[in-house]
Amino acid sequence: MYGQVTIGSLNVRDLVWDDAQAAESTPIAIAPTKNARQATNATRARSLFDRTNAPLTDRVQPRTRSYRFRRKLVRLRRGKSRAPSEQTSEMESRGARFPNLFGMTSPLSATLYSDPACPFGYSENPALRVIEWRYGSQIDWRLVLVGLSEDTSRYEAHGYTPLRSVQGQIRFREQWGMPFALEVKPRLAASTRACRAVIAARREWPGSEWAVFRALQISNFNTRLLLDDDDQLREVLSVVEGVDADRIVALIDAPEVLAEYEQDKAETRTAAGSPTEFQGKAGNSDGQVRYTAPSVVFTRATDGLRLEAGGMQTVEAYDVLVANLDPTLERKAPPEDPAELLEHFSFGLTSQEVAALLTVSNDLPDRQGAERALLALVAEGRAERHPLGGDALWTVPGGQLPPRLSDESQRQAV
């Protein structure tokens, strides 16, 4: 039996489910019956007992505890390629790929569907940072590239221009707070080569795809970067530590990268009949119903249960899904000292990201308060402020600089 409930902007089905239904990714019961609730609590207790009493080597060993840890891991694995799709399998009649539950080292996994060209995906970063901070290595994240465009013909057919694009960014900046430089670019650009650059990094240095993806997002909305220009891609990725920008660009057209890119696109285009489509959050720009950027799908390791947050969502929407999947997780509070955030997120944070991370519970972010606290850190020599699109990227002293494009590179791309 199904009942409809609404949580914030999320519509979630309320039902009693059994093991067979769970294997088919039935949504979680938000208000289950008494018997179902008792069975669920018993399962959680057994899972917690197993995790607590397992040998140390069998306990949760997160792939990454922080970005600094990930950089060390990247250096250790430098030069080692990962066979494509070894840790995923085809499941369900819709053909979506899901995390291999036997290979999961965290209680939950989260699949982020996104694209470096999408302003929604870029603007969602503050909410994503909060979930990363609150739950840390208890959630094992994976990035799937949407592949929004192979060329610009569809944009041109709809009258889309560089001017129209940058005018739309004003709304994103005012509504969600991420920095936008409002640079009118010389022409439109497809995102396919940038997506493949991220995949090349993922194959060569597993874990580095997140830093590469972030560098491309920041560059796309705060410089005149053209996402299909290899020279510019090489330049903006040169600031990312632990990767070889020349190597990444050289692999963009490699057969194995192209194959993995097509796998990412195929997985993204499996949203037909999903809760994401039900909410009107799915896209269909090439004849297939797809997850829009950003969409997040959470999966529970014990039984494969999935919950979707399709399209742009609030922190509270993500948080309620995590809470329903595993209320035994540790939930980290905001730090008293914002310097802890800069140490944790060593790639730097924007003002809006810091404001979101300092927010308690469901309070509204205090952007001005966050900036005052950050400026105090700069005055004390504990932080640096790097101008970025009318805002700033805040880092620890000597931290990673935001990506830039030289004037010569911008002239040659026209």
Please tell me the predicted confidence (pLDDT) of residue 75. 41
| HSE (side-chain half, CA atoms, 13 Å) at 395 | 15
Please tell me the predicted confidence (pLDDT) of residue 84. 32
What are the CA-CA distances from residue 124 to residues 168, 268, 321 (Å)?
A: 16, 18, 17
Distance CA 142, CA 207 (A): 9
In a domain, 277, yes or no: yes
**CA 104, 341, 112 angle in degrees (round to 5)?**
35
Backbone angles phi, psi at 10, to 5 degrees: -100, 135
pLDDT in tens, 373-386: 999 999 999 999 99
- Answer yes or no: is pLDDT of 103 > 80: no
Q: What average pLDDT score do residues 328-338 get?
A: 97
In a domain, 250, yes or no: yes
What are the CA-CA distances from residue 236 to residues 143, 225, 233, 275 (Å)?
A: 20, 8, 5, 37
- Answer yes or no: is pLDDT of 281 > 60: yes
- 3-state SS assignment for residue 141: strand
Please tell me the predicted confidence (pLDDT) of residue 375. 98
- Do residues 388 and 350 lie in contact, with contact meaning Cβ atoms separated by under 8 Å? yes
Query: What is the total count of domains within the chain?
Result: 1
- CATH number of the domain that residue 100 is part of: 3.40.30.10
In a domain, 186, yes or no: yes
In a domain, 205, yes or no: yes
pTM for the full model?
Answer: 0.76
Give Cβ neighbours of residue 180 (< 8 Å, ≥ 6 apart). 169, 170, 172, 173, 221, 222, 389, 390
Position 18: which residue type? D
**Rounded to 5, what percent of the chain is helix, strand, coil?**
45, 15, 40
pLDDT above 90 as % of the chain: 70
Q: What average pLDDT score do residues 294-316 get?
A: 97
In a domain, 209, yes or no: yes
Distance CA 304, CA 302 (A): 6
pLDDT in tens, 211-268: 999 999 999 999 999 999 999 999 999 999 999 999 999 999 999 999 999 999 999 9
Tell me how crowded residue 36 is: count the other CB atoms within 10 A of its CB: 15
Please tell me the predicted confidence (pLDDT) of residue 285. 83
- Answer yes or no: is pLDDT of 189 > 70: yes
Boundaries of domain holding 166: 67-332
In a domain, 42, yes or no: no
In a domain, 359, yes or no: no
In a domain, 234, yes or no: yes
pLDDT in tens, 143-159: 999 999 999 999 999 99
Q: Quick one: 130 exposed, middle or buried, by C-beta within 10 A (0-12, 13-18, 19+)?
A: buried
